[in-house]
């Protein structure tokens, strides 16, 4: 068993080194020292955010000392990738709703909202050709897109506990509860709590992305798919929490699924 563990650790280490080589140049181009995408401070009030989310971001900035560079990254993301930003904003709103339903403290809610807004920030380092909605991916495209969690984590600088937490959540949001996700094939409780919840919220949003907001059939079908994947792709508790929050937020007269 010791030999197997050593081999596994070695494989993971080699995988990390290979992926670092592939995204290292991208990170250098996107970070302040490397120039490129941003150079000066930007006020978070310029972010196109829902009012409720803006309050959480303000809390994170003031109470949790979110680095100024992250605000610049969020601004760049919103400007350069409106489709990806819209998805991230909706995921953040759903996460905030789940936190409210569970009675999570404001500081923890604010940190999760920022993580949700950042979860796809690695798209900044992906070719624009791959970001076209409904594009059909070949194997090379999928391999390139699967780097975005690692690229995104590499863009989040700082030694604070919050920065470390954000890096972990961004890096792990495509891991699966059963170990079938990426980039490292983590499973179960080795995946961070924030990443587990964001995985469910972003899957729900992706499934209803093209449906009208009033389409209860699409929402119901998406919830059923989440429940079907609970225990395999998703943590069961996170699925239950999202389903409960969505049912309580449903318009009056609608039938809960």
Condensed to tens digits (0 to 9), the pLDDT of residues 195-214 reads: 999 999 999 999 998 766 55
Q: Residue 51's pLDDT band (boundaries 50, 70, 90)?
A: confident
Cis-peptide into 183, omega within 30 deg: yes
7 within a domain of the structure (yes/no): no
DSSP letters, 116-181, are HHHTTGGGGGS-GGGGSTTPPP-HHHHHHHTTHHHHHHHH---SSHHHHHHHHHHHHTT--TTS--
Least confidently predicted of 34-38, 114-118, 230-234: 34-38
Residue % of the chain over a pLDDT of 90: 51
Q: Is the pLDDT of residue 20 over 50?
A: no
11 within a domain of the structure (yes/no): no
4 within a domain of the structure (yes/no): no
The model carries a pTM of: 0.77
- pLDDT of amino acid 214: 54
18 within a domain of the structure (yes/no): no
Q: What are φ and ψ of residue 234, in 5° steps? A: -120, 155
Domain hosting residue 51, numbered range: 25-248
CATH number at residue 148: 1.10.3210.10
Which of 176-212 are b and which e, b meaning 16 or more Cβ less than 10 Å from the residue's Cβ? bbeeebbbbebeeeebbbbbbbbbbbbbbbebbeeee
- pLDDT of amino acid 61: 65
User: What's the number of domains the chain is made of?
Assistant: 1
195 within a domain of the structure (yes/no): yes
What's the mean pLDDT in 226-233?
98
14 within a domain of the structure (yes/no): no
2 within a domain of the structure (yes/no): no
Q: Residue 67's pLDDT band (boundaries 50, 70, 90)?
A: low
Alpha carbon distance 49, 51 (integer Å): 6
Alpha carbon distance 201, 143 (integer Å): 23
Least confidently predicted of 49-53, 139-143, 177-181: 49-53
244 within a domain of the structure (yes/no): yes
- Residues 93-121 have pLDDT tens digits of 999 999 999 999 988 998 999 999 999 99
- Residues 150-204 have pLDDT tens digits of 999 999 887 788 889 999 999 999 999 999 999 999 999 999 999 999 999 999 9
């Amino acid at each position: 068993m010791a030999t197997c563990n050593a081999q596994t650790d070695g494989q993971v280490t080699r995988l990390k080194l290979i992926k670092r080589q592939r995204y290292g140049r991208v990170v250098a181009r996107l970070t302040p020292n490397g120039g490129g995408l941003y150079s000066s401070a930007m006020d978070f009030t310029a972010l196109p955010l829902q009012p409720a989310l803006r309050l959480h971001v303000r809390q994170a900035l003031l109470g949790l000392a979110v680095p100024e560079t992250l605000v610049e990254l969020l601004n760049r993301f919103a400007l350069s990738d409106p489709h990806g930003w819209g998805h991230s904003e909706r995921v953040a709103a759903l996460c905030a709703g789940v936190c409210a339903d569970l009675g999570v403290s404001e500081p923890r809610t604010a940190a999760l909202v920022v993580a949700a807004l950042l979860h796809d920030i690695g798209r900044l380092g992906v070719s624009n050709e791959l970001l076209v909605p409904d594009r059909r991916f070949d194997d090379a495209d999928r391999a390139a897109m699967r780097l975005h969690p690692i690229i995104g984590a590499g863009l989040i600088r700082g030694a604070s506990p919050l920065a470390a937490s954000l890096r972990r959540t961004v890096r792990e949001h495509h891991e699966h509860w059963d170990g079938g996700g990426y980039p490292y094939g983590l499973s179960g409780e080795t995946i961070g709590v924030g990443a587990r919840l964001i995985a469910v919220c972003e899957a729900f949003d992706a499934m209803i992305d093209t449906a009208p907001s009033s389409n209860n059939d699409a929402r119901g079908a998406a919830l059923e798919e989440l429940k079907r994947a609970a225990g395999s792709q998703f943590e069961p508790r996170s699925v239950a929490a999202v389903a409960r929050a969505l049912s309580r937020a449903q318009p009056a007269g609608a039938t809960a699924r």
